[in-house]
Amino acid sequence: MPSQAPIVAKELTIAYGDVVIQRDLTFTVRMGEIFVIMGGSGCGKSTVMRCLTGLKAPSKGQVLLEGISFWESSQATRDRIARNIGVVFQGGALWSSMTLGENVSLPLHEFTDLHSREIRDLASLKLSLVGLAGFEDYYPSEISGGMRKRASVARALALDPKLLFFDEPSAGLDPVTSSLLDDLILELRDSLGTTMILVTHELPSIFSVADNCIFLDGETGTMIASGDPKRLKNESQDPKVQAFLTRGDKNRTG
């Protein structure tokens, strides 16, 4: 692994036409950490993730992936870097007409020269990593929402990415299933050493998995806080950050 930080954003501004979503974002994601992009609905969390994963170009600034300026590189270089990025989309984005094994095998067929038997074995291994051993022949419609989310994690792990992104991983899951997914994220980070970036506004997940975070404000279109979310909850003087991070406390007392 190169010595550079896996992700460095420098003075990043992201817009749709003349509408600026976030401006002047500067932050670093360190190797092996779980980094959370948080903030209220509509603040641009998923849009920032799209910029970091090569799906949307910034209007200004740089995204450095292991020291390489992604958006200033050639298409060939961007394609090579993208092979080291896995994404778990909000809805799972599994192909309903394919079994779980076929879903996980798809990127292996597309991006490797492995034989079919080797691909099947690897797909089974990835499914077993997320607790779905023996479910290779099930279709997404035949399993629960939590299992579908785990299957989408297995697919994102197919090519052994160095960076793994999650877009609202707990969306649509009940609290118990969401907690189990948080446990899986921690287990995978500890066992594989993968650097993980989560986009979420769910407090239980933020406090249970995050090593570091940034807080995006939708009103100003800027990053107004960064650091360990537990420390921010105790020490931040910003009323927006406090209101966001203490929602659970208010719900319990109410």
Q: What is the pLDDT of residues 91-114, one digit of tens each?
A: 768 999 999 999 999 999 988 999
pLDDT-based confidence at 1, cuts 50/70/90?
very low
Half-sphere exposure of 213 (CA within 13 A, CB side): 29
Handedness of CA 185, 139, 90, 79 (dihedral sign): positive
- Strands of the 195-199 sheet, one edge to the other: 85-88, 163-167, 195-199, 34-38, 212-217, 222-227
Q: What is the pLDDT of residues 23-44, one digit of tens each?
A: 999 999 999 999 999 998 889 9
**CATH number for domain 31-49+84-253, candidates 3.40.50.300, 3.40.50.2000, 1.10.3720.10, 3.40.50.140:** 3.40.50.300
Tokens 């500067």 correspond to what residue?
A: 26
CA–CA separation, 191 vs 188, rounded Å? 5
| Listed residue (38, 20, 35) closest to 236, CA to CA | 38
At 163 the three-state DSSP class reads strand
| pLDDT reading at 254 higher than 90 | no
Mean pLDDT in the chain?
92
| pLDDT reading at 141 higher than 80 | yes
> What integer pLDDT is reported at residue 253 of this predicted model?
45
| pLDDT reading at 119 higher than 80 | yes
Q: What is the pTM of this model?
A: 0.90
Handedness of CA 209, 213, 216, 217 (dihedral sign): positive
Question: Which DSSP letter does residue 56 get?
Answer: S
> What integer pLDDT is reported at residue 93 of this predicted model?
83
Question: Which DSSP letter does residue 98 get?
Answer: S
